[in-house]
A and B are shown apart, each in its own frame.
Chain A
Amino acid sequence: SQQGEEDPQALSIQEGENATMNCSYKTSINNLQWYRQNSGRGLVHLILIRSNEREKHSGRLRVTLDTSKKSSSLLITASRAADTASYFCATRGTGNQFYFGTGTSLTVIP
């Protein structure tokens, strides 16, 4: 079963533009994490935001969390062709369950 849903399912942008993807989840969480997956590869951890945090930055990544709306967003600024991948949010529940969303497929056109 999957806890989260991501929006949009697919996103295509020009290099240099910003990419925003959203994640909605269903139950209370301890933390929320974002992962990237290149085609045919395993997932790579990008950033973790705790339930008592509202915003976090890491390089060109900015993550926000709104626990009242049970939603999070991932912003990638100044996108590059190498950012082309699928992006997944994952939620750590209060019962220590860990579930992934359905993913957003990002294509950055050079």
Chain B
Amino acid sequence: EAGVVQSPRYKIIEKKQPVAFWCNPISGHNTLYWYLQNLGQGPELLIRYENEEAVDDSQLPKDRFSAERLKGVDSTLKIQPAELGDSAVYLCASSLDFTGELFFGEGSRLTVL
């Protein structure tokens, strides 16, 4: 069974440019998470979806970040415009429901110049 797939793995952009990350969760997993991880730190939740509904987006900087999960499957996280401080790894994870273990993708490493 395929795991959580993220793309791109690496992205380098100039500040003020837009960027988008894509995540395909494990088939049948209703819950999807986007996390941000800075170097040497633990993952910080940006948004959690239950099917297509965003149920916890309190940590998402809504002035420049947006996310969507169409049809309750794939998800896209967008940053527009990117700032230098957005350089980090963006992790996507999915779980069967909100109580169990999370399965992570390999992450998308963003560098903003």
A-to-B contact residues, CB < 8 Å: 1-2, 4, 30-31, 33, 35, 41-45, 48, 88, 90, 92, 96-103, 105
Looking at the complex, which of B11-19, B61-69, B78-86, B99-107 is the stretch in contact with chain A? B99-107
- Distance in angstroms from B93 CB to nearest chain A CB is 8
B-to-A contact residues, CB < 8 Å: 4, 33, 35, 40-45, 48, 56, 59, 91, 93, 98-107
A102 and B106 alpha carbons, distance in the complex (Å): 19
- Distance in angstroms from A45 CB to nearest chain B CB is 4
Q: Is the CB of A42 within 8 A of B91?
A: yes
Tell me the interface secondary structure of chain B in the complex.
loop
Q: Is the CB of B102 within 8 A of A98?
A: yes
A42 and B100 alpha carbons, distance in the complex (Å): 17
Q: Is the CB of A101 within 8 A of B42?
A: yes
Q: Which residue of A lies closest to B98 (CB)?
A: A96
Q: Is the CB of A100 within 8 A of B43?
A: yes
A42 and B40 alpha carbons, distance in the complex (Å): 14
- Distance in angstroms from B109 CB to nearest chain A CB is 8
Q: Which residue of B lies closest to A44 (CB)?
A: B104
With A42-B91, A42-B106: A48-B101 Cβ-Cβ less than 8 Å: yes
- Distance in angstroms from A4 CB to nearest chain B CB is 8
A1 and B59 alpha carbons, distance in the complex (Å): 8
A2 and B107 alpha carbons, distance in the complex (Å): 19
Contact with A2, one of B42, B93, B102, B104 (Cβ below 8 angstroms) = B42
Q: Which residue of A lies closest to B103 (CB)?
A: A45
Chain A residues near B106: list those with CB within 8 A: 41-42
Q: Is the CB of B41 within 8 A of A98?
A: no
Q: Is the CB of B44 within 8 A of A2?
A: yes
A97 and B57 alpha carbons, distance in the complex (Å): 11
Chain B residues near A105: list those with CB within 8 A: 40
Chain A residues near B105: list those with CB within 8 A: 42
Contact with A45, one of B91, B99, B102, B107 (Cβ below 8 angstroms) = B102
Chain A residues near B48: list those with CB within 8 A: 98
Q: Is the CB of B99 within 8 A of A43?
A: no
Additional pairs, 14, CB under 8 Å, beyond known A42-B107, A45-B102, A48-B100: A1-B44, A1-B59, A30-B99, A41-B106, A42-B93, A42-B105, A43-B91, A43-B93, A43-B104, A45-B103, A48-B101, A96-B56, A100-B43, A105-B40
